[in-house]
């Protein structure tokens, strides 16, 4: 018997990890045993003297690595949500070891020979559709990992993977350290313009940092954006903006050239011109040209809309006494003033109607009306932080579905952003396994916690990912939930956002936190009318970041780049407006450099938006946003995981392939000057042609199961 909880059965409801017993020192021995057991299981499969069969090879591979998967999921989730110096040290130590272990399996010649033999005979094996797709997936993963390379190339590829794992870990930790280390203390005279909810959040942030009776701005987005929106102190807005955009710069700028060069070399070894070609060959988009067409088609109308917005903001700024052009730290401030002037809509007036608890209830009830799910808080479970709330999820017949963990608040030891992950995925291979899904947000804690409209959409977005995990109904773990193509995984989350902003939802759940009063109908009308204020800004800051991602990963050379010069060159080439920053500057662009999941894939949010805008329009066409027949077809997408081609799933739901105009209309770009709008529509219609199934199947996972973190934009 041992006191290491990873070596014991877990008896908590739904197999929840015993967080009250897990300590940092438990992970190294658990990782070591997990890797050793997994390696032995792989050797037994690869060296099996019996001829390859689906059962003794593919299904045996699906069963392998259970302990390592359990340890890895807990570790990666805690490292993101509730880290410590001890956990960070383990991460730095084990990231390259785990990368070496995964690649040793992917490059095992005996294992690949068995997979390749089955793949060659797949038509004669009598496989069910999900089994055939799983076999094709494994074959493709092995090939993309380098299984066909010569031994020397395999060794070099393994060295690259280990080094990248180290660099990714360092990059993410450096960002977190900068975010933890910085805050701006505010005196009473520094609070000018801040509404009550922003002052309360700043006071709570100060209390958490041991500053009694004070106010601070932190580098959490939920702290920065309200300050940039409301603070009347231009000098402090600039100070906060500068700190926000400099996150990671000191330590991470030196890492970016090496990451980019290693990825280019990885692609070259695998027979691709550049890393973007490698990454996109396993995506719906298929190639960088299709991605670029989509991004540039939106880019030009977005720039024109942003220029018109800037001209309006400049008028307000001049009337406010600003001599000179508005800067990046001014945009949100004057955009809020424009919204107030044009729509008589004040964020401070609106926010009291968006209490976190009400929005959580709205998300749960929406899932109930669409998919029959019920959420019941499960109290008394030992969780990894007091902020976390647990909910038992059941279906409309009362049968257990899974466990949902909601971790909503920013804190110093939690990485920034918003994301969904899992402690356990649904499967039914050797008996039904219920999922344990977690949503992380970074809202500023208050009493009560009040959300902006954008934060409410983020909550629904991540909950949409959560539903993708909870509603999964697949046989094999490698196909579960969000294990789909990166440019499809955002569709289930983004379409769910639409129910948050639906008038029916707002009329029911947007209530004043103090009085219980419903959101006044006139205020609702103004809110919806103002939704496209600064949409040019929002589209430009996102699309520019996606174009930067594409540019750095289309470099065919492994020669070092100067990351500052490269960023400047990309922005100059695309004509980036001076007053709009990238949504994520390179030194803290964790989507790209703290892991490989979104590398050459940040475009996926816009790609999926084509689907979500068109898909939600189907509900509008029925006259009922909860239409039961359409909801049932949508649920099929959430349930299918990677058992079917994503475009086939979408077409079965919608009754046809997606149309493009809904995207432009949703972003307010369809009314751009006729030439630009027409050109955008014409270019975007190539979207459908780009969805050919040139490869048998695909998913966002490669190699042994690991924790998949699905981030917000």
Q: Which of 62, 336, 462, 567 is catalytic?
A: 462
Supply the pTM of this predicted model.
Answer: 0.92
The per-residue b/e assignment along 353-370, b for 16 or more CB within 10 angstroms, e otherwise, is bbbbebbbebbbbbbeeb
Q: Which two tokens stand for residue 669?
A: 């770009």
3-state secondary structure 566-618: HHHHHHHHHCCCCCCCCCCCHHHCHHHHCCCCCCCCCCHHHHHHHHHHHHHHH
Q: Is residue 400 a contact partner of residue 40, using CB atoms and an 8 Å limit?
A: no
- In three-state form (DSSP H/G/I as H, E/B as E, the rest C), the secondary structure along 663-713 is HHHHCCCCCCCHHHHHHHHHHHCHHHHCCCCCCCCCCCCCCCCCCCCEECC
Q: Is 462 a catalytic residue?
A: yes
- 256, 548 in Cβ contact below 8 A? no
Tell me how far apart the alpha carbons of residues 595 and 99 are, in angstroms, rounded to a whole number: 12
pLDDT in tens, 279-324: 999 999 999 999 999 999 899 999 999 999 999 999 999 999 999 9
Structure tokens at 466: 């959560």
d(CA 440, CA 77): 10
CA distance 356 to 341: 27
The DSSP letter of residue 420 is: E
pLDDT of residue 407: 98
* Structural domains present in the chain: 5-148 (1.20.1050.40), 182-246 (no CATH)
What is the rounded distance in angstroms from the CA atom of residue 560 to the CA atom of residue 612?
Answer: 39
pLDDT at 708: 53
The CA–CA distances, whole Å, from 222 to 236, 259, 340 equal: 17, 29, 21
Instruction: Tell me which DSSP letter residue 511 carries.
Output: B
**From CA 411, how far away is CA 222, in angstroms rounded?**
11
**Residue-level pLDDT at 255:** 98
Quote the CA–CA distance of 356 and 463 in Å, as a whole number.
13
Q: Give φ, ψ of 324 to 5 degrees.
A: 120, 170
Closest to 138 in 3D by CA, of 402, 478, 384 = 478
pLDDT value of residue 347:
83
Residue ranges, the chain, pLDDT below 70: 1, 670-708
| Alpha-carbon dihedral 680, 682, 683, 688, rounded to 10 degrees | 120
The answer to whether the beta carbons of residues 410 and 422 sit under 8 Å apart is no
Residue 711: its pLDDT value, please?
76
SS3 label, residue 408: strand
């Amino acid at each position: 018997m041992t006191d290491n909880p990873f070596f014991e059965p877990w008896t908590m409801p739904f197999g929840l990890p015993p967080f009250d017993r897990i300590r940092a020192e438990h992970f190294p021995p658990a990782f070591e045993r997990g890797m050793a057991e997994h390696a032995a299981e792989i050797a037994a499969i690869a060296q099996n003297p019996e001829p390859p069969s689906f059962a003794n090879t593919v299904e045996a591979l699906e069963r392998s690595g259970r302990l390592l998967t359990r340890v890895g999921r807990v570790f990666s989730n805690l490292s993101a949500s509730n880290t410590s110096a001890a956990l960070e040290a383990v991460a730095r130590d084990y990231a390259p070891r785990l990368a070496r272990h995964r690649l040793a399996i992917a490059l095992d010649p005996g294992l690949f020979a068995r997979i390749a033999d089955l793949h060659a005979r797949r038509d004669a094996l009598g496989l069910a559709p999900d089994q055939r797709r799983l076999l094709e997936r494994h074959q493709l993963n092995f090939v993309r990992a380098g299984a066909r390379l010569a031994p020397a190339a395999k060794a070099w590829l393994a060295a690259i993977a280990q080094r990248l794992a180290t660099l990714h870990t360092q990059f993410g930790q450096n960002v977190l350290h900068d975010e933890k280390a910085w805050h701006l203390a505010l005196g009473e005279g520094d609070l000018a313009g801040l509404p009550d909810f922003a002052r309360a959040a700043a006071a709570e942030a100060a209390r958490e940092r041991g500053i009694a009776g004070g106010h601070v701005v932190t580098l959490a987005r939920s702290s920065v954006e309200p300050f940039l929106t409301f603070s009347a102190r231009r000098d402090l807005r600039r100070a906060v903006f500068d700190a926000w955009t400099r996150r990671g710069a000191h330590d991470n700028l030196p890492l970016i050239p090496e990451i980019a060069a290693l990825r280019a070399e990885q692609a070259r070894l695998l027979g691709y011109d550049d890393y973007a070609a490698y990454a996109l060959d396993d995506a719906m988009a298929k190639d960088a040209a299709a991605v670029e067409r989509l991004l540039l088609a939106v880019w030009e109308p977005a720039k024109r809309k942003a220029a018109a917005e800037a001209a309006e903001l400049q008028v307000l700024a001049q009337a406010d006494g600003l001599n000179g052009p508005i800067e990046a730290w001014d945009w949100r401030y004057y955009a809020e003033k424009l919204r107030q002037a044009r729509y008589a809509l004040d964020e401070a007036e609106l926010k009291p109607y968006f209490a976190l608890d009400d929005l959580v209830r709205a998300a749960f009830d929406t899932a109930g009306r669409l998919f029959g799910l019920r959420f019941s808080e499960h109290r008394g479970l030992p969780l990894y932080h007091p902020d976390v709330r647990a909910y038992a999820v059941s279906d409309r017949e009362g049968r257990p579905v899974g466990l949902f963990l909601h971790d909503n608040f920013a804190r110093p030891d939690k990485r920034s952003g918003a994301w969904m992950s899992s402690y356990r995925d649904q499967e039914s291979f050797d008996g039904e396994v219920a999922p344990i899904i977690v949503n992380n947000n970074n809202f500023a804690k208050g009493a009560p916690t009040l959300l902006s409209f954008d934060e409410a959409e983020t909550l629904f977005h991540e909950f949409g990912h959560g539903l993708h995990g909870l509603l999964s109904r697949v046989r094999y773990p490698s196909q579960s939930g969000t294990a789909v193509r990166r440019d499809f995984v955002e569709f289930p989350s983004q379409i769910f956002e639409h129910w948050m902003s639906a008038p029916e939802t707002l009329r029911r759940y947007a209530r004043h936190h103090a009085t219980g009063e419903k959101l006044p109908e006139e205020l609702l009308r103004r809110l919806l009318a103002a939704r496209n204020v600064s949409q040019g800004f929002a589209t430009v800051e996102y699309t520019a970041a996606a174009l930067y991602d594409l540019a750095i990963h289309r470099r065919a050379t492994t020669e070092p780049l100067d990351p500052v010069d490269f960023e400047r060159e990309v922005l100059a080439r695309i004509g980036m407006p001076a007053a709009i920053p990238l949504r994520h500057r390179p030194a803290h662009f964790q989507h790209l450099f703290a892991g490989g999941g979104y590398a050459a894939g940040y475009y996926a949010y816009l790609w999926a938006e084509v689907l979500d805008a068109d898909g939600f329009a189907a509900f509008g066409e029925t006259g009922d946003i909860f239409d039961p027949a359409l909801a049932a077809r949508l649920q099929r997408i959430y349930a299918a995981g990677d058992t079917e081609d994503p475009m086939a799933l979408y077409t079965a739901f919608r009754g046809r392939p997606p149309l493009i105009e809904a995207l432009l209309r949703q972003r307010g770009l369809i009314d751009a000057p006729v030439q630009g709008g027409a050109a955008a529509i014409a270019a975007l219609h190539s979207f459908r042609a780009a969805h050919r199934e040139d490869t048998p199947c695909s998913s966002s996972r490669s190699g042994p199961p690991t924790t998949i973190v699905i981030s917000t934009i």
